[in-house]
Amino acid sequence: MTQLLEWFTRYSPTVVLLLALAAGLLFVVKLIVERSIASGFDRKTRMFDAFLKRRSAFEEKVLSDRFALVTSLHARLENVMTNLNRRRKGKPPTAGFIENGEIVPLTSVFEDLEIHRLVLGEDFHALFTRMARMALETANVAMSDSEAWEKSVEGWPGLRQEIRVEAERNFGINQIHW
């Protein structure tokens, strides 16, 4: 306000009026620009939040599916080894275990390893492939050759531990507390 009074002493009323209108116009333009920038930021923020929520939901789904696959594959491979051990000891394996010389559950595991490779991730895929190959090698060992059997299953406990470590690294199960 003091600025306007000072202008009145120096300039004519018409010039002061024009200066006041220019200042008012500049103020209005400044407000419009600020609001449009704020609106743009708000829109970008909402889009980014929506993207993060979708991405988070996607990652949650992949992790959930991966966990289900890991537990399923591990259980199925353990079941194959249990049935191979039964067979070695002269006990019949569970029904449908071997059909026409093929170990059906093991074939299914190999199929699922390839079908679900993207969801499993390369680390789990490599571990389970090694585990499945070890089960296949064990199945091909003569059941009466105890020394060959022991050698074929020698790395099994180590693979179990590797699976547990990788699962903990991926899922953090030990960090979940009630």
Cβ proximity of 104 and 96 under 8 Å: yes
HSE-CB for 105 with a 13 A CA cutoff: 20
Cβ proximity of 97 and 103 under 8 Å: yes
Cβ proximity of 136 and 106 under 8 Å: yes
Express each pLDDT in 32-58 by its tens digit.
888 888 787 778 777 767 665 666 788
The answer to pTM > 0.85 is no
Share of the chain above pLDDT 70, in %: 93
Express each pLDDT in 139-178 by its tens digit.
988 777 888 888 889 999 999 999 999 999 988 888 877 7
Cβ proximity of 115 and 108 under 8 Å: no
What are the sequence ranges of the domains in the chain?
A: 58-175
- The tokens for 33 are 């620009």
* Measured CA distances, 100 to 46, 87, 104, 142 (Å): 60, 15, 9, 17
- The tokens for 135 are 């089960």
Question: What sign results for the dihedral spanned by CA atoms 84, 85, 89, 92?
Answer: negative
